Structure 1
Amino acid sequence: MSDIEILPIDPLDNALVDAWIAMQNAIAAHDRPGDALYSPAHQRLRLFLYPASVAVERYVAQVDGLVVGGFELVLFLQDNQHLASFELEVHPDHRRRGVGTRLLEFMEQRVAELGRDTLLAGVSETVEGGPAMDHSGREFAKARGYKAVDNEIHRRNDLFAVEDDDLATLYADAWAKAAGYELVQWVNHAPEDIVEGIAAMRARMYTDPPMGEELDIRPAHFDVERVRDEERVRADRGELQLAAAVRHVESGEVAGLTDILVLPGDETHAGQNDTIVDPAHRGKRLGTILKIANQRLLREYRPKLRYVHTWNAEVNSHMIAINEAIGYRRYCRDIDVQKKLA
C-alpha cells in the first residue's frame, strides 16, 4: 500500500482529468452494464461549477503515475452539516490490492477533520429481470463497517418501447380525477409566480419520501435563492432541466413537481430528478399527470434520447405503480450505506 499516492484533482491538469474520466467509464461499463457512461464534457464542468449549498472535494489514487481509483466528497453547507456524502471508485483491474482501503481511510480522516460524523454512499446489487451488477462495492462497504440503511429500486424507461396511445389513455383518465388543477411546464428556469412553491417542494424531498429509520438525512433549508442558484449552475454546466408542476387553481398552491435532467454530451440517457406531490393534494392522480407531461416534453426536446432512469424507495408502492404504468422497468437495487464516525 505504500506506493499508493492520493492527490486532489487539479481541474487544469488535462492529463489527470482525462485519466480520471477514463477510469470512471471503465468502472461504469464493468459494474453497471447498460447504464449511462460519464460525459467527459459534463465531468469537466462539474470540476468548476457546483451549487453554493455544497462544498465538493475530489481526489484520485495513483500507482506509478496511473490513476487507479478516486473519490468525490460532497459536504452540505446550509443543512445536514453532520453529513458527508461520497462516491468511492476503484478501477476493476486494480481491486483487492489495498487501493479502496487506502482511499477510504484517507477520506474518513478528512471527514473527521471537517467536523462531520456521518458518511453516506450508495452501492448496487442485481435484481430479478435486470442485468448482472458487480457486487464488490456492496461487499467492500459491509466489510468496513457501513450499514445498509435504505433500499431504492433503480428503474429504466425505454422510451422507444412506450406506446403513445396507452400514455394518452392514462393521461386523460388522470385529468378526469384532477378537476381544479392546472399544469405548468418550463425549461431550466421556474416561473416567478411558482418558484416559492417549488422551493417548498424541494425541501419536502428530504422528509416526505419513505426512507429507512436509520438513514440520517435531516430537513433541508430550501428557499428561492437556493432554487435559482441551482438553476444557474445547471445552465452553466450545460444541463437541460425539463420540469412540470401542478398548481391548485383556487389557492394557487404548487401541489406537485417533477423534473428530468439531460447532461451535455449524452443523447441516449436522461435522469429523473425529484418527483413529489404534497400530501394535502394526493389521491388526485397528479403524479401520473406530472410524469406523463414531462416525458412528453422530453420527447419534444430530445426525440432520439432513449432511456430515462429513476429511483424509488422499495416500499413506495404508489410511485412505483405510476412509473411502471408509463414504462419503467427494474434495472438494479441501489442501497444506501451509512457509517457513524466514533
Structure 2
Amino acid sequence: MHGGLRRRQAAPPAGTGRAVGPGDHRVRAAGRGAAARAAGDRGGEHRQRGRGPGARGAAQRRRSGRGSVKRAVAAARHVDHRTVTPEIRLVDPLTADVDEHHELHLAVSKVDYPNVAPPTREAVLIRLRNPDVDLGESVAWTARVDGRLVGALAAQLPVDGNEHLGMVRLVVHPELRRHGIGTLLLHTAAAALRDRGRVTVEVSRVESNSPGDRFATALGFRTATTSVFQLLEFAEVDPDIWDVPTPLGYRLVRWIGQAPEHLVESYARARHAIGDAPPGGSAWRTPTWTVDRVRPVPRPLSIWQCPLINDLQTRAY
C-alpha cells in the first residue's frame, strides 16, 4: 500500500507540474495551467449492510440528501453553466458532515466505477478524519450549489523530499459536471498549494479514456504512470487454492496499531524495501523508512498488519 504507485496523485498549482494516477487508471500529470483532477474516488471498500437500530434513520437521511442534490441538479440544468456559481469553502474534515460526503462518493462511484463495490460510510469517514499520515498535512475544500454539497477536493502535502509536491483527490457529482465546478476547486487548491511552495500536483485513479482523463488532459496534465487494478470476487474463486503451507522458517504475526518493539526495526526495513517500485514520470519520491519514522506514526485507525516473519533472520516481508 505504501510502496506502490497508488499514491502518485497530484494536482498542480498554475504552472508546470505533473500528475499521477494508477489504473487501468492513468496517472495524469499537470503541465501548464492549473491543476488536475481524478474523476471520482475508486473507494474499493465492500459495502456492509446493517439492520441494527438507526439503520432506518440513516437510510432516511441518505434519501433526503439525494433529494437535496437532485434539486440542485434540476436548478442547474435550467441555466447556462456559466451562471452556476458554486460556493467554495475551505473546510475542516474533522467537522465535515460524513453523510453528505458519503452521498457524494456514492453518486461518483455509481457512474465512474459501476463494477466496483461502492464506498461504505465508514470508508468515507476514514478518508475525511484520518487521511494517510504518510502523506503529510491534509487540507480540503468543498463546492456547494444552493447550499448542497456537489464537489470536494482533498490535498495532502508530503514531506521527506516531496516538499515540491501536492497530492490531490477531487470528486464532483456526476449530474453537475461540466459546469466548471471541478475546475474552480482545482484553481482554488492550486493557489493555496503554490503559496506553500508546491510546484507540482499529482492526481491518481484517473481511469483511461474516462471523463476524468479528458478533464485532466484539457487542463494540461500528462500521463506520468499507468497501473492496472485487479479485482477478486471471493464467491467466484475456489478457496482451496489458498490452502498452502507456510514456507519453512516463516510465521505470520498480527498486531493492531504500532509495530511491536521487537519487530519495529525489521518492519522499518520492510517498509523501505517495498518502496522500490519504479516511479515512472511521477514526481513522488519514496521516503527513507527508519525506526524513528515508523514509531511516531499515529494509529487512530487501528490498522492491523500481518507481515511474514522469518524466524531465522527476524525480518519482515
Q: TM-score normalised to the size of structure 2?
A: 0.65
> 1:38/1:216 Cα in 2 relative to 1: closer, same or farther (>3 Å)?
same
User: In the alignment, what sits opposite 1:193?
Assistant: 262
Percentage identity across paired residues of the two chains: 26
Cα drift, residue 188 of structure 1: 1.9
CA distance in 1, matches of 2:147, 2:129: 24
Count of matched residue positions in the alignment of Structure 1 and Structure 2:
233
Question: Contact 2:93/2:140 (CA < 8 Å) preserved in 1?
Answer: no
Which segment drifts farther, 48-57 or 90-99? 48-57
Question: Contact 1:188/1:231 (CA < 8 Å) preserved in 2?
Answer: no
> 1:123/1:138 Cα in 2 relative to 1: closer, same or farther (>3 Å)?
farther
- Secondary structure of 1:232's match? coil
Question: Contact 1:123/1:137 (CA < 8 Å) preserved in 2?
Answer: no
User: In the alignment, what sits opposite 1:121?
Assistant: 203
**Aligned positions of 1:8-19 closer than 5 A:** 8-11=90-93, 16-19=97-100
Cα drift, residue 166 of structure 1: 2.3
What one-letter code is carried by the residue in structure 1 that aligns with 2:274? M
Question: Contact 2:135/2:156 (CA < 8 Å) preserved in 1?
Answer: no
Question: Contact 1:10/1:17 (CA < 8 Å) preserved in 2?
Answer: no
Find out whether 1:227 has 2:294 as its counterpart: yes
Cα drift, residue 48 of structure 1: 3.7
Q: 2:271 aligns with which of 194, 202, 214?
A: 202
Question: Contact 2:101/2:124 (CA < 8 Å) preserved in 1?
Answer: no
User: In the alignment, what sits opposite 2:154?
Assistant: 72
What one-letter code is carried by the residue in structure 2 that aligns with 1:184? L
Cα drift, residue 124 of structure 1: 3.7
CA distance in 1, matches of 2:274, 2:263: 17
**Aligned positions of 1:1-342 closer than 5 A:** 1=82, 3-11=85-93, 16-50=97-131, 51=133, 54-125=136-207, 135-168=210-243, 171-172=244-245, 175=247, 179=248, 181-189=249-257, 190-206=259-275, 208-212=276-280, 214-230=281-297, 232-235=299-302, 240-247=303-310, 249=312, 251-254=313-316, 256=317
Structure 2: runs of 5 or more not aligned: 1-81
Q: Of the two structures, which has the highest relative contact order with CA contacts closer than 8 Å and spacing of 6 or more?
A: 2
Cα drift, residue 80 of structure 1: 1.6
Question: Contact 2:153/2:169 (CA < 8 Å) preserved in 1?
Answer: yes
Residues 167-192 of structure 1: per-residue CA shift (max 9 Å, x gap): 22xx34x83xxx5x312320324332
Which segment drifts farther, 43-52 or 147-156? 43-52
CA distance in 2, matches of 1:137, 1:52: 26
CA distance in 2, matches of 1:120, 1:228: 28
User: In the alignment, what sits opposite 2:68?
Assistant: none
> 1:109/1:85 Cα in 2 relative to 1: closer, same or farther (>3 Å)?
same
CA distance in 1, matches of 2:296, 2:124: 19
- Secondary structure of 1:153's match? coil
Cα drift, residue 228 of structure 1: 4.0
Give the RMSD, CA atoms, in angstroms.
2.6
Structure ranking higher in strand proportion: 1
What one-letter code is carried by the residue in structure 1 that aligns with 2:261? E
